[in-house]
Chain A
Amino acid sequence: MIAIVDYGVGNLFSLISSFKKIGADITVTADPKVIAESDGIILPGVGAFEDAARKLRDSGLDKVIIAETKKGKKLMGICLGMQMLFERSYEYGCHEGLGLLKGSIVPMKDTIPSDLKIPHIGWNALHFTRESDLFKYIKPDDCVYFVHSFYASDCDDSVIATAEYGKELTAAVQKDNVMGCQFHPEKSGEVGLNILRAFCEME
């Protein structure tokens, strides 16, 4: 069973529908026991980093997620959920993340050419930078759907895919059992479903 962490951030409708579509066994939960019993964890999230990080901490679920992933349980953060995996974010201040991955979340503004619109919104091609089982059902240059104004920087070697938008922006990350997608697999058609499918099939 895959636990989708429900900590009051964003709408989970599409994510739940996507997992149902691929026939995955999912539970939407804020219960630490359920998360501890799951085979894998999905950390979703849209909105502001500070608010989401606080909600996760206030619920105490941050500790559960960290403890479970340290034991080797697979985890995937999606969009803001991916950003939360990192050490910190500079979105309106400096806010602490889960620290499961090295790196910081920084604004696109000032680092991409000024004629490009922000947020980076729409379909963009994935450039694989490392092999990952997450991509076993998709191919290089498959397009996925992005909506974001901040991106993960100084990620050490965790980047497994980038997307070009003025520069190569971090699109997906993996360090062992900890994974994340900046884009929305639940909005990326068949390609997105295939990424979720690959995650579900991982040991």
Chain B
Amino acid sequence: MITKRIIPCLDIKDGRVVKGTNFKGLNDVSSPIELARLYSDSLADELVFYDITASFEGRQLFTDILTQVASEIFIPLTVGGGINTVDDFDRVLKCGADKVSVNSGAIKNPLLIRDAARKYGDQCVVLSVDIKRVDGAFHVFAKGGREDTGIEAINWIKQGVANGAGEIVVNSIDTDGVKGGFDIELLKLVCDVVNVPVIASGGAGNMQHFVDLFKEIPDIDAGLAASIFHFGEVAIPDLKQELKRNDIIVRL
């Protein structure tokens, strides 16, 4: 049976890994290549690289880092950040990415998902969605969680899958950085409406949160986190053992 995936996410700015709380107040953590190797050697099932650099120089640096990581790390790599066109897909796939994650780019142009899926296949297109509760409804936020688009999140995700998104990353802004556990309520809603893999993001503070995630939502495919892995609060091999002890199928 297919294993549940544990995915460390590396936010890259100016060639370094950063991670903020609620997307603000970024701290420099470590070298992306060293961290990628460490994760790969310690049973991470996949890596997500997120380019949060706006400048052209920063983008070039990101491309170089991605190429370096992809030539040394032999697990799937997903890349996101600043993906607005099919050419952006092309750029990062040529650097060795396996999947490309779109977020604001799909909000600006929903056809981006369809065009990219037709060219590279559904399995290559990941729709990443930043979601926050607004007046009792789930809204899609853009620009790294700073801007409320007013779009209803569950319909947005359904539409994305219909257009060809092969995987969904659900990032709850409400739980992100709080370390109080994943947003089970939101994730259940998403899993109920799509038949593609769903990756939970935002809120992991300890190993039990991953156990709760996979136990409470059997349909969830993966748990993604950044800071708890970067700061060494949770080691992935320990997490995998803990999941196995709880009868959750993982790669060891």
Contact = CB atoms under 8 A, between A and B. Distances in A.
Interface in A25-44: none
Contacts of B94: 11, 13
B197 A121 contact: yes
A122 interface: yes
A122 B221 contact: yes
Contact of A192 (B70, B74, B196): B74
B123 A193 contact: no
B16 interface: no
Most buried by B among A47, A143, A193: A143
B5 A123 contact: yes
Contacts of B75: 145, 187-189
Given A13-B94, A122-B197, A123-B251, A189 B2 contact: no
B72 A143 contact: no
B2 A119 contact: no
B3 A117 contact: no
Given A17-B71, A119-B166, A147-B123, A187 B98 contact: yes
A14 B96 contact: yes
Contacts of A164: 1
Nearest to B45: A123
Interface majority SS on A: helix, strand, loop or mixed? mixed
B95 interface: yes
A6 interface: no
B204 to A, nearest CB: 19
B115 to A, nearest CB: 16
A20 interface: yes
Contact of B96 (A17, A145, A147): A17
B160 to A, nearest CB: 15
B21 to A, nearest CB: 30
Contact of A117 (B45, B72, B195): B195
B197 A17 contact: no
Contact of B3 (A21, A119, A124): A124
A125 B71 CA distance: 25
Interface in A150-203: 164-165, 186-190, 192-193
B76 interface: yes
B65 to A, nearest CB: 15
A46 interface: yes
B121 interface: yes
B72 A14 contact: no
A159 to B, nearest CB: 19
A16 B221 CA distance: 29
A143 B1 CA distance: 10
B2 A13 contact: no
A47 B93 CA distance: 14
B40 interface: yes
B123 A119 contact: yes
Most buried by A among B40, B95, B121, B197: B121
Interface in A105-137: 117-125
Contacts of B5: 122-123
B46 to A, nearest CB: 9
Contact of B121 (A47, A143, A192): A47
A121 B123 contact: yes
A18 interface: yes
Given A123-B45, A124-B1, A186 B195 contact: no
Interface in B100-159: 121-123
Contacts of B221: 117, 122
Contacts of A17: 70-72, 74, 96
The 4 closest A-B pairs by CB, nearest first: A143-B251, A17-B71, A13-B96, A122-B2
10 contacts: A13-B70, A13-B96, A20-B71, A117-B197, A121-B123, A123-B5, A124-B3, A125-B1, A165-B1, A189-B75
Given A121-B166, A121-B197, A147-B123, 12 more contacts: A13-B70, A13-B96, A14-B74, A17-B74, A17-B96, A119-B166, A120-B2, A122-B45, A187-B74, A187-B98, A189-B74, A192-B74
